[in-house]
């Protein structure tokens, strides 16, 4: 579609929109992945098996709700007018739920904590749906890729800053009571009561509230559109038509299915990998936070390299390489335990130096984590460029809507299976092994997919 009637928004309006990612990312970094999630699994539950199962079911429940409702909300975003009231509504839910995570002391009601986390996750995703739908009104089409990527980068930077703040100034050692830089935790937080991890919920809520305000104040919004009822009917009708067309274009349909499968594995690995390590090695908030910082630093390097490889070799090659690295990393982490790696084929000394990651097994886990850091950014970024190169400009909006749906439609499946296998087997490692099936299945489907995906039909 041409950019008819699209005028460039003011600089303040564009920057306000870009700050949404900066505001939203710390929830995923410090709450979901690296601080609160591992604390929940390793310290809140009666044992790591119950903790990993409960956390996995929470992620699965949120993913299921997102999969069911996101197409409807996507149609509302396309057809209705103002987005900001919807963003404000879901932001309020997210902020309240995050603040209530402070109550998640050891021994608290697991169901209530998981419910609060799941509601926050759903609200975060739906807020993103409406925020993303504002982008085409801000700049002409040729500039969308630039502001989208800068906003994505700001999100990673925001998450990194908050994570470093937590590790350096809030997360104290249960033994010494000091943070990694040797100071007392801010606000008198007691690490023995998990207050450093519990405080990440209110911290992420405050950060989100403060930094979404520029979007509300300065970013232009649509003025009017369809009423909600007609918008839902119109949007779902268009969604049904596009799905029907996609099935007739074999390459694109196969790519969407492949991405749906491997993205499930990627999401589960990111959401559960840190918690798995914390439970296995008894990592403190400090250690899991440093692990997260290492992964994010490596991820920046991975994206930088992948940007050049994508241009030279194509998106499919980058995605396949990334999936291979993630598969190797997953085999590595599930095969590692105190005193061994590679399922015991490589025994490791159990001596603990007393420093961060003081055992050989922990260092091996970090090495596998580096592979995850290198690959998890490129597998998502190059999947997006794979899709962009496979459709025409005139149909890109509709097909990227299906692309987004494919990324969420079964996002509950991998966490659900990880949680179920963990609960049934009593083995967190066996539960995490399920992720390999999703990565391998996605690679198998992608290997037979043409590049660009619509090449056969051209």
Strand partners, 340: 337, 347
Confidence (pLDDT) at 1: 38
Residue 4: phi and psi, rounded to 5, are -70, 125
Q: Would residue 452 count as lying in a domain?
A: no
Q: Would residue 453 count as lying in a domain?
A: no
Q: Would residue 245 count as lying in a domain?
A: yes
Q: Would residue 1 count as lying in a domain?
A: no
| Nearest of 115, 96, 101 to residue 199 by alpha carbon | 101
Q: Digits of tens for pLDDT over the chain (458 positions)?
A: 344 444 677 788 888 988 998 999 899 888 987 788 888 887 787 777 778 788 878 877 887 787 777 666 766 666 666 778 889 999 999 999 999 999 998 888 888 999 999 999 999 988 887 777 777 677 665 565 556 656 766 777 888 899 889 888 887 776 777 777 778 888 888 878 888 889 999 999 999 999 999 999 988 777 666 666 776 777 677 667 666 766 667 678 888 889 888 988 888 887 777 777 777 777 777 777 788 788 878 877 777 777 778 777 878 888 899 999 999 999 988 888 777 778 777 777 777 776 677 688 888 888 888 888 888 777 877 787 777 677 665 555 556 666 766 776 677 788 788 888 888 888 888 888 889 999 999 999 998 888 876 764 43
Can you give the CATH number for the domain in which 269 is found? Answer: 1.20.1250.20
Q: Would residue 6 count as lying in a domain?
A: no
CA–CA gap between residue 230 and residue 224 (Å, rounded):
13
CA–CA gap between residue 337 and residue 345 (Å, rounded):
12
Domain count, the chain: 1
Q: Would residue 101 count as lying in a domain?
A: yes
CB 411 within 8 A of CB 67: yes
* CB neighbour list of residue 188: distance below 8 Å, 6 or more residues apart: none
Question: Can you say whether residue 336 is alpha, beta or left, with left for phi > 0 and alpha for psi between -120 and 50 degrees?
Answer: beta
Q: Would residue 155 count as lying in a domain?
A: yes
**Alpha-carbon distances of 306 from 25, 47, 321, rounded to whole Å:** 22, 40, 10
**Domain of 162?**
11-447
Instruction: Count CA atoms within 13 Å of residue 108 on its CB side.
Output: 21
Q: Would residue 171 count as lying in a domain?
A: yes
């Amino acid at each position: 579609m041409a950019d008819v009637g699209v005028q460039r928004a003011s600089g303040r309006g564009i920057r306000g929109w870009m700050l949404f990612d900066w505001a939203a990312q710390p929830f995923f970094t410090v709450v979901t992945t690296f601080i609160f999630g591992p604390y929940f699994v390793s310290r809140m539950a009666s044992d790591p098996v119950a903790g990993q199962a409960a956390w996995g079911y929470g992620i699965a429940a949120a993913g299921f709700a997102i999969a069911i409702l996101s197409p409807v909300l996507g149609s509302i975003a396309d057809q209705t007018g103002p987005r900001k009231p919807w963003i404000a509504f879901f932001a309020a839910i997210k902020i309240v739920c995050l603040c209530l995570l402070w109550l998640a002391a050891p021994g608290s009601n697991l169901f209530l904590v998981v419910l609060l986390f799941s509601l926050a996750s759903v609200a975060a995703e739906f807020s993103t749906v409406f925020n993303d739908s504002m982008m085409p009104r801000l700049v002409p089409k040729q500039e969308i890729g630039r502001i989208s990527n800068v906003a994505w980068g700001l999100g990673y930077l925001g998450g990194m800053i908050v994570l470093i703040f937590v590790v350096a100034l809030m997360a104290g050692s249960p033994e010494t009571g000091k943070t990694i830089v040797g100071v007392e935790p801010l606000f008198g937080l007691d690490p023995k009561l998990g207050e450093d991890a519990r405080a990440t919920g209110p911290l992420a809520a405050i950060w989100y509230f403060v930094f979404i305000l520029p979007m509300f104040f300065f970013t232009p919004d649509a003025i009017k559109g369809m009423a909600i009822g007609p918008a839902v009917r119109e949007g779902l009708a268009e969604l049904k038509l596009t799905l029907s067309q996609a099935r007739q274009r074999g390459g694109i349909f196969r790519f969407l299915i492949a991405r749906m499968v491997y993205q499930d594995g990627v999401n589960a690995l990111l959401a559960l990998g840190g918690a798995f390590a914390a439970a296995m090695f008894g990592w403190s908030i400090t250690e899991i936070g440093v692990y997260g910082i290492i992964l994010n630093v490596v991820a920046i390097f991975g994206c930088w390299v992948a940007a050049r490889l994508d241009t030279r070799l194509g998106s499919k090659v980058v995605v396949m390489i990334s999936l291979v690295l993630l598969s190797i990393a997953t085999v590595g982490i599930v095969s590692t335990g105190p005193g061994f790696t590679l399922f015991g084929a490589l025994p490791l000394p159990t001596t603990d130096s007393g420093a961060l990651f003081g055992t050989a097994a922990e260092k091996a886990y970090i090495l596998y984590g580096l592979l995850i850091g290198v690959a998890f950014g490129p597998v998502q970024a190059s999947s997006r460029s794979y899709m962009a190169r496979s459709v025409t400009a005139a149909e890109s909006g509709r097909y990227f809507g299906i692309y987004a749906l494919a990324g969420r439609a079964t996002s509950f499946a991998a966490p659900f299976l990880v949680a179920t296998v963990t609960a049934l087997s009593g083995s967190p490692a066996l539960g995490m092994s399920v992720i390999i099936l999703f990565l391998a299945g996605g690679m198998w489907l992608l290997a037979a997919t043409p590049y660009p995906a619509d090449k056969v039909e051209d």
